[in-house]
């Protein structure tokens, strides 16, 4: 069956329908939350040549993807979707102090990712390299060192970011490291700057449901 593109359906009775391009991008964290929780969902993947037509026919609150359709509601914005799903599936703290720690980590990861994205989407080669140098030499050491400090403050840094079990912050770290370090052959840089974050990444990818998703997901360029 095809729905707006290549669709991977994991249940006949789908409660959750996630629509995004056929790439990891801004949709992968939500997919990873579904996988970690063991929850079935409809994974709708749009090919780029289909997007102009679908942009006017899909229920897009902000004329962009990803969107999540569930319980008669359309939810937009990738971070909102991921946090909604994490709360739905008990992958988010409930204590207000722990929520603050969780969101501080998520926002820190978003800041580093933004620094990399400035370089990735810059067309001018000189500016592209300038942005990348700033990301690697200034933003990465500053924020990843801080994130490692947050990890170490939780049981010595040998478990997860918040509490005693996997949460959205750990999954977001996996997506961030894979996209910005694994695919770019920068893992030595990561290990030299924040070895405990590298160790946490290694733990997360070995979580059985996460490991299963990483092995079965469509292989895409981005």
DSSP string, 74-108: EEESHHHHHHHHHHHTT-S--SHHHHHHHHHHHHH
Separation CA 204–CA 170 (nearest Å):
7
Structure tokens at 188: 């030595």
The pLDDT value recorded for residue 134 is 96
The helix/strand/coil state of 184 is: coil
CA distances to 48, 115, 133 from 122, rounded to whole Å, are 20, 11, 13
Q: What is the pLDDT of residues 111-138, one digit of tens each?
A: 999 999 999 999 999 999 999 999 999 9
The pLDDT value recorded for residue 6 is 52
The pLDDT value recorded for residue 151 is 98
Q: Identify the DSSP state of 27.
A: G
The pLDDT value recorded for residue 46 is 97
Residue 19: which region, alpha, beta or left (left: phi > 0; alpha: psi -120 to 50)? beta
């Amino acid at each position: 069956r095809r729905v707006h593109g290549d669709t991977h359906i994991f249940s006949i009775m789908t409660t959750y329908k996630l629509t995004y391009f056929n790439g990891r991008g801004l949709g992968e964290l939500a997919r990873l939350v579904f996988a970690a929780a063991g929850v079935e969902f409809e994974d709708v993947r749009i090919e780029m040549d289909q997007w102009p037509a679908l942009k006017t026919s899909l229920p897009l609150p902000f004329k962009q993807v990803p969107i999540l359709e569930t319980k008669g509601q359309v939810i937009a914005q990738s971070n909102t979707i991921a946090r909604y799903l994490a709360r739905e599936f008990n992958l988010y703290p409930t204590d207000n102090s722990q929520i603050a720690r969780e969101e501080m980590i998520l926002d820190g990861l978003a800041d580093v990712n933004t620094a990399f994205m400035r370089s990735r989407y810059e067309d001018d080669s000189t500016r592209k390299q300038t942005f990348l140098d700033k990301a690697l030499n200034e933003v990465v050491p500053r924020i990843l060192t801080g994130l490692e400090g947050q990890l170490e403050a939780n049981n010595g840094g040998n478990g997860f970011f918040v509490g005693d079990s996997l949460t959205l912050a750990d999954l977001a770290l996996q997506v961030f490291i894979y996209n910005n370090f694994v695919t770019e052959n920068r893992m030595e840089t990561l290990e030299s700057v924040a070895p405990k974050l590298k160790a946490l990444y290694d733990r997360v990818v070995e979580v059985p449901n996460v490991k299963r998703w990483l092995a079965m997901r469509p292989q895409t360029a981005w």
